[in-house]
Structures are given as C-alpha cells and as structure tokens.
Chain A
Amino acid sequence: MQKKFFQKQPMMRKVIYSLIPILIFAIGNFGWVVLIKTFLSTFMAVFIEWLFERKKGKPVSEAVIVTGLLVGLILPPAVPFWIVIVSSSFGVVFAKMAFGGFAKNLYNPAMVGRAFVYVSFPAAVQQSWTPAVSTWGQGFGRWIASDIVTMATPVNVIRGGGDISMWKMFFGNVSGTSGETAKWLIIAAAVYLIITKTASWKIILSTLVSAFVMSGIIFLFDPTRLNPLAWIFGGSILFGAVFMATDPISAPKKERSKWIYGGLIGALSVVIGTFSLFGAGFMFALLIANTFASLIDYLNTPGKVKKS
C-alpha cells in the first residue's frame, strides 16, 4: 500500500513538472503564501481522493495532484485559506469522485471547484487580488506581497482606462491569480507539453485564435473594449488554454471536435468576459464547453454506429 500510494501516470508527471516553474515564479511575485496555499489545495485534493479510493483499495491517481496544483494557481493570492480548502474539496468530490474517479469525470475538477467558490462566496474571492511586488524576486523575502487587497487585475485596469505595458504583462510582474501572470513560462510549458505529446496543440491553438478573432471583432465595433493582445496576455486565457482546456479527460476525444471545442472556449470566454456580470470569462467558457464536449463528439461520430 505504502509504495503504491500513487498510480504511476507519466502524462500527469509532465504536467506537474511544467507547473513547478510557474509556481516558483508566483512565489517570487506574490510571496510564500502562494506556496502554502498551493500545497494546501494539493494536500486536500489527494486526501479526498484517498478517502474515496481507500475502500476500493485502489491507489490515488497522479491526476489529482495536477488538480490540486491548478486549484492553488487559479485562485487569487490573498484568498482566505478556507476558500482554498472548500474549492479543492468541492471540485474533487463533486466533479471527479462522484463520477467514479480518474478518467470518468465530465468536467474539469479544478474549474468546478473554482466556479463554486467564485459564485458562492463572491466577496471573499473577488476582493482578494493583491498587487504584485514592484520588482520580481522580492516575493522570496516576504510572506505576502502586499496587504492591500481589491487591487484590479491587468484586464480590469485597462478596462478602467489605465495602461499596462505589454512587456510587463508578458513577463508576469502584475497582479492576477497566482499562476496566470508569467506568460513566457506558460508558453514555455505549452511548448514542452506539445513536444512531449501531453497536451493537444489543436485545442490550445484553436482556443487562442478564436479568442483573438472574437475580441478583434468586438474591438473593431467598439474600440473602448479591450484590444485582442490585451485579452491574450492580460487575462487567464493563456493559462487556461494550456493547462485547463487540454485536460484529456473532459475534452472531446475526436480530433475534429477538438477544433470546435477550442473555438467554443475562446469565443465564449471573450463574450462572457466582455458582456457578462462576471469577469471570469474563461472559467464559465470552459465549463460550458465541457457541457457540450460530449455532444460535439457525438455529432462528429462518422456513420451511424452510435448506440441508441
């Protein structure tokens, strides 16, 4: 039991490796609190899966570590500890274990957990943005980057008429959720994941292209809206496209459906982020796309070999 606590899943290992530099960058950007929270969410996720799998005598999947890490990285850095626990536990219990565990889930557990706390405890989650440290690296000497909360993310700043240099957004020394800021690390991780055939390049590409086109159309009609580059580099779309949308289990299986799936996510996240009550466009877009993933697959099944 002890030596087989984790199922060996080389694919998930690679995702974990690619998340580690992003986590280290986030510590430098926001302080050590990020590490503690990510550790907490990972611990909770593994613990919950262990509780469920214990009776069946099955080892815990390594995928749940990825879920835990992602929960920690997609929450704002100053979010209260109990939110981290609730988010991680809810996601794993209701979006994963209820469906029968690893590889059976229809929704991305990390995103369900985040959507649940985002909608249920809006005050606690949405007012937990903190500004990043003024120069990257100071975070290693601090517990948390700053005590000031309710600092707007780059997308909010630009929407409010402010300006943030593209370079700063690219390097990642800006506020945001813990893991989404360092675009260059995310791109590097994407290249690594694509080369090792862990993530589907079709989903990443179609998500980004469709978000770019959609925001471009909106920007052409109404230049007061965000410009397409700010969408890609200012928000969570890049992080989400690389790590969340490519989740091989909740994404459709057919090659052709992956294009549609990514396109749906990109376009919806821009539409929802622009017009909806909620700013977190990508989160809802991914859940909606997860909802329709099975349908897209069904429609793309050639012939009529579908079971009736």
Chain B
Amino acid sequence: MGVPLNPFVIMVAAALTSNMVLSNFLGMCSFIAVSKDIKTANGLGMAVTFVLTLTSVLNYLVYYYILVPLELVYLRYIVFIIVIAAFVQFLEMLIDRFSPSLYMNLGIFLPLITVNCAILGGVLFMIIRDYNLMQSLFFGFGSGAGWWLAIVALSTMRMRLREKDIPPQLVGPGLTMIIIGIMALAFLGFSGMVPVQ
C-alpha cells in the first residue's frame, strides 16, 4: 500500500499520527526509564532519531540488495538486529569520542538502543509498508523525531512533579504510566489525519 505517498507526508504521519511510542507503544522501556531529566532524555531522543534514520536506510539496502536476491528473507529479523547492533556500537564510540558527558549520562541506555523495540519496529514497518528508499529515510527520521518529541515532553512534565505530593504507591513508574496514558489519549486526536495506518 501507500507507495505513491509523498515522503514528507510519511514523515509527519510517523511523527504525529502514528507516533512510535504514543500510538504503537514501542520503545516503552527506555521511554519510562530515561525520562527523569531533560538532558539525558534529549540525548537519548537524539540518539534514537539518528539511529532510526540511518538504520532504516541501511536495513533497506541490506534487505532489498542482499536478502531478497539471495532469497534469505526468512533471516531478516536476525540480520536487522545485527545491523542495528553494529551501528549502535559505532555510535557509542562516536559519542564517547566527542561528548564524554553525554556518554556518561546515557550510560547503560546507549547499548540498550540495540534492543529498543522502536528501532526494530520502525525497520519492520518500513518493510511491511513497502516504502521505497526515500520514503524509508523520511519515515525513519519522522519516527525518531516523534519519539524524541514525546520523551522531551515527558521529561519536562516529570521534572515539574514533586515526589512528596504524589501518593506513595504511584511514585516513579506508576505515575509515569498514567502520564503516558493521557499523552496517548491526547495524540489520538491526530488519528485519521494522514492515510497511513
């Protein structure tokens, strides 16, 4: 489906209408764990956007120029994971070299991007929906940007909360889940705006 869609439309749809985390609920683990503070949230959002954009393109090339001609399509999950892991490794070295503070802040979460379901989800969506190269690039960027936007908004909201006011049972992930629920409710308003499901 959706082949004649304008890449720009796909990007907007991926960022708002079918936001990775708020309507597909992918990438939840790091979304909840790293959203305590805006600086790390911003860093992780940037990393996810970067990885998602480039792995979409890389996996597109791997899938259509290696896997499909060799009839190895059944290996796609494992190959996608390997490509993502290798790329994240590369990114990790890059961040370590150029921004040690961000590297320290991200800590364990950078390797975790490897198994961030948003990344694999984005790649699989791209295959299922038959996007071409240009569309994949924009889709990857849009998905990442939507995730970034959501985690930055969530982190500023969490910074506004003061722990002593919250009912003790809900401190931490409990209340975060409620906030994410209401955010998802709000983003539901965008549904149906762009014909990409």
Contact = CB atoms under 8 A, between A and B. Distances in A.
B64 interface: no
Interface string A265-295: 0001001100111101101110110111011
Given A277-B191, A288-B187, A308-B39, A99 B153 contact: no
Interface in B82-135: none
Interface string B23-62: 0000000000000011100000000000000000000000
Contacts of A291: 153, 157, 182-183, 186
Contact of A277 (B175, B181, B192): B192
B171 to A, nearest CB: 10
Contact of A283 (B37, B189, B192): B189
A211 to B, nearest CB: 15
Given A278-B191, A292-B153, A298-B156, A104 B161 contact: yes
A280 B190 CA distance: 11
A281 B157 CA distance: 23
B37 A276 contact: no
B175 to A, nearest CB: 6
Interface stretch (A111-119, A125-133, A188-196, A228-236): A111-119
B186 A276 contact: no
B5 to A, nearest CB: 16
Interface residues of A, number: 38
Contacts of B190: 272, 276, 284
Nearest to B154: A291
A46 interface: no
Interface in B128-152: 152
Given A100-B167, A294-B153, A295-B152, A284 B37 contact: no
Interface of A: 94-95, 97-101, 104, 106-107, 112, 115-116, 119, 268, 271-272, 275-278, 280-281, 283-285, 287-288, 290-292, 294-295, 297-298, 306-308
Given A272-B189, A288-B186, A297-B156, 8 more contacts: A94-B181, A95-B182, A98-B175, A99-B161, A112-B185, A283-B189, A291-B157, A295-B152
16 contacts: A94-B181, A98-B167, A99-B165, A99-B175, A104-B161, A115-B186, A115-B188, A119-B185, A272-B193, A275-B193, A276-B190, A276-B191, A287-B185, A291-B186, A295-B152, A298-B38
